[in-house]
Amino acid sequence: MATNIDKEACREAYNEVRDDNTDINWAVFKYEGPMIVPGGQGVDYEEFKNMCTDDARLFAYVRFTTGDAMSKRAKFTLITWIGENISGLQRAKVSTDKTLVKDVVQNYAKEFLISDPKELEEDYICDELKKAGGANYDAQAE
């Protein structure tokens, strides 16, 4: 059965993460039968990580504050989580269904495909975003 997405509801969750006037830092899009729908949003990154279980497959749009001594800025990422207990067929479906999510989630600095909880660590993702961000004026020891 073909997967569909609730574009309006997902776009609303996406826009809340992008909005500088809200505290919302992340939104999750999950499968409900043949539909991808908003699966929650929040402020605490740990809450999001708790949703990434071995039997889950989901997409997340997450805001991080990155930068250096000269400037701080919001950076956004699209995370695709596939738990270890997800079947091969469902794994393959995630990659094709991601195009539906990308119709809604269009602005992000870096995309991640993650199935190892260690790669969900905030420091790891922030480091990757920093690398993708270009110039870094932190006082660094060389």
Domain boundaries, the chain: 4-132
| Residue 77 contacts residue 62 (beta carbons within 8 Å) | yes
Number of neighbouring beta carbons within 10 Å of residue 13: 22
This prediction has a pTM of 0.89
Q: How far apart are CA 79 and CA 96, in angstroms?
A: 15
| 108-118 residue pLDDT tens | 999 999 999 99
Q: What are the residue ranges of helices labelled H in the chain?
A: 7-18, 45-51, 88-104, 122-132
Given this model, what pLDDT does residue 43 score? Answer: 96
What are the per-10-residue average pLDDT scores of the chain (142 residues)? Answer: 94 96 96 96 96 96 82 90 95 94 95 95 89 60 44
CATH superfamily name and code, 4-132? Severin (3.40.20.10)
**C-alpha distance from residue 63 to each of 3, 7, 25, 80, 122 (Å):** 26, 20, 5, 15, 11
Given this model, what pLDDT does residue 98 score? Answer: 96
